[in-house]
Amino acid sequence: MRCPYCDADNDRVLDSRASEDGRSIRRRRMCNHCQRRFTTYERVEESTIAVIKKGNVREPFSREKISRGLERACWKRPISAEQIRKIVSLVEAEIYQEYEDEVPSVAIGEIVMRHLAELDQVAYVRFASVYREFKDLNDFVSELRPIMRPKKRVDPLTERPGADDES
């Protein structure tokens, strides 16, 4: 493994453990040349799934592309790199579980949006605005309407809708 800092090909593994999703191994390494530490991930190479883009263009599935899209959507949001990696792993696992040879890019976008909506509404809208190619403010409003609906509050003592709700 080449060191990402000095490009030396001389390191040692300090720690290995299974990642949270159990589909990869996280290795903590130290370069013997510059003494800096870095992390690598080892995962099973799965059969390549082709992504069917608009216009029926096909390209190989890329975790990195999903990760970059999520990083842009989550920029300056209280979302850690680990949370982004976890979403990427969940999306990838779902794709390999549901599809064999090809997956429409539309399906990937919907899976990403579903996981992102659970994590952060602002990041969700940022991702949706690029993914769904919003043209104007009405597109934003249409996307926001479902997530802005007030949730009915329930009185915890009576388990009935609260007095301020219209029921």
For 26-73, write each residue's pLDDT tens digit: 999 999 999 999 999 888 776 689 999 989 999 999 999 999 999 999
Instruction: Give the position of tokens 């949370």.
Output: 83
* Among the listed residues 138, 115, 118, 143, the one whose alpha carbon sits nearest the alpha carbon of residue 128: 143
Higher-confidence residue: 24 or 103?
A: 103
Q: What is the Cα–Cα distance from 78 to 71, expressed in whole angstroms?
A: 12
> Cα separation of 99 and 88, whole Å?
16
Burial 87-125 (b: 16+ CB within 10 A, else e): bbbbbbebbeeebeeebebebbbebbbebbbebbeebbb
Distance of CA 142 to the CA centre of its chain: 23
pLDDT of 167: 44
Between these two residues, 124 and 161, which has the higher pLDDT value?
Answer: 124
Report pTM.
0.60
60: tokens are 């190989």
- Tens digits of residue pLDDT in 85-137: 999 999 999 999 999 899 999 999 999 999 998 999 899 888 988 877 777 77
Q: Looking at residue 119, what is its pLDDT? A: 93
Give 81's pLDDT tier (boundaries 50, 70, 90): very high
Mean pLDDT throughout 3-16? 95
Nearest one of 59, 88, 58 to 73, comparing CA atoms? 88
Structure confidence at residue 154 as a pLDDT band (50, 70, 90): low
Name the more confident of 167 and 50.
50
Please say if the pLDDT value at position 160 is more than 70: no
Q: Where do the structural domains in the chain lie, given as residue ranges? A: 9-44, 49-147
- What's the mean pLDDT in 71-90? 94
CA distance 90 to 25: 15
